[in-house]
Amino acid sequence: MNPQTHDKPRIGITLGDINGIGAEVVIKALADTRLLNILTPVIYGSTRVLSYYRKLMNTEDFNYSQVKTKGQLFAKSINVVNCWEEVIEITPGQPSKQGGRAALLSLKKSVEELKEGLIDALVTAPIDKNTIHGEEFPHRGHTEYLTQEFNAGESLMLLAGNNLKVGLVTEHIPVHEITKHLTRDRVELKIRLLEMSLKKDFNISKPKIAVLGLNPHAGDNGLLGTEENEIIKPVIADLKSKGKLIVGPLAADGFFGSNQYKAYDAVLAMYHDQGLIGFKTIDFSTGVNFTAGLPVVRTSPDHGTAYAIAGKNQADESSLRQAIYLACDIVKTRLEATQPQQQP
């Protein structure tokens, strides 16, 4: 086999925590070789880990090529970049610091090659924030790490599915700290990042955005909290005066329960569970986590390591497959936007 020329999106895929379901869903998602007609997959992890799970899952027909020369990928093949040489014990369903180290090595290598332009997008399998956390990774998750690595200043955690897109003002922080991070500047920034991404990454020319309130009943005119009147409403009024199609603040329960979300291109939630409970109820199997606002494309499945079913060949690969497809779509959308328009 010969290294390929760059004629399809090169999609990097990390294995995530080697004791979770990452390797399993990667193998399942890439087992459909038709994917190789539209993209070149590059797995960051270990051939040993893949061989282990391939045998455990009894899928011996899953084949790949090891990348021996940096950046030299193989046509019509699943490429694997080995990110460590030492033997790291694989214990499906049992978190370990070794597993966290492996996840970090995979992530670091993929980011390095993404920065160098050797891949066009990155899809990250789930990590265990407890085992990966340390001096080299003091972050709450992938989103914060990638925002720092690509000097983005700020980014937006955006969940995208077949029926719904949900962005978050605050992400992985304790509930009791939410109000500390809720400012006019932050809400406005997240709305602008959401609008920009809908235009740039999803090709929606005039996005219509719904903004949720923080408190029950969106504050009930100040009876149940002041954040809506003091923070959220002024931002929305200012942006609407500039021609933005923004509605809110809306009560989250009624918004999702009455299917109001269908009238909007995206929703901005104030905190993690407010947005993700609705999103995962509606779009769990097709949900993808996309980091908007970065100069690079990064997606991931919207589930975790799922230790309870790791190594049992029970994991559903649908979300990872959708993450791969979305990464391809956004790469192509951004590329088309940079190409000069042909005159009729």
The predicted pLDDT at position 5 comes to: 47
The predicted pLDDT at position 140 comes to: 80
How is domain 1-152+294-344 classified at the architecture level of CATH? 3-Layer(aba) Sandwich (3.40)
With tokens 């895929």, the residue in question is 13
pLDDT by residue (tens digit) across 296-312? 999 999 889 999 999 99
The CATH number of 154-291, from 3.40.190.290, 3.40.50.150, 3.40.718.10, 3.30.160.620, is 3.40.718.10
Q: What is the mean pLDDT of the chain?
A: 93
pLDDT exceeds 90 at position 135? no
pLDDT exceeds 90 at position 243? yes
With tokens 């149940």, the residue in question is 224
pLDDT by residue (tens digit) across 46-80? 999 999 999 999 987 889 999 999 989 988 899 99
| Least-confidence region, from 185-194, 200-209, 234-243, 285-294 | 285-294
Give how far Cα 212 sits from Cα of 12, 121, 272, Å. 34, 31, 12
Q: Where in the chain is the domain with CATH 3.40.718.10?
A: 1-152+294-344, 154-291
pLDDT exceeds 80 at position 184? yes
pLDDT exceeds 70 at position 130? yes
Q: State mean pLDDT over 132-156.
A: 89
Give how far Cα 118 sits from Cα of 50, 84, 122, 145, 177, Å. 22, 19, 11, 20, 39
Q: Judge contact between 265 and 281, C-beta under 8 A.
A: no
Q: Residue 237 burial (CB < 10 Å; 0-12/13-18/19+)?
A: exposed
| Least-confidence region, from 3-7, 61-65, 260-264 | 3-7
The predicted pLDDT at position 75 comes to: 81
| pTM, two decimal places | 0.91
User: Which of 137 and 109 is assigned the larger pLDDT?
Assistant: 109
DSSP 230-249: IIIHHHHHHHHHTT-EEEEE
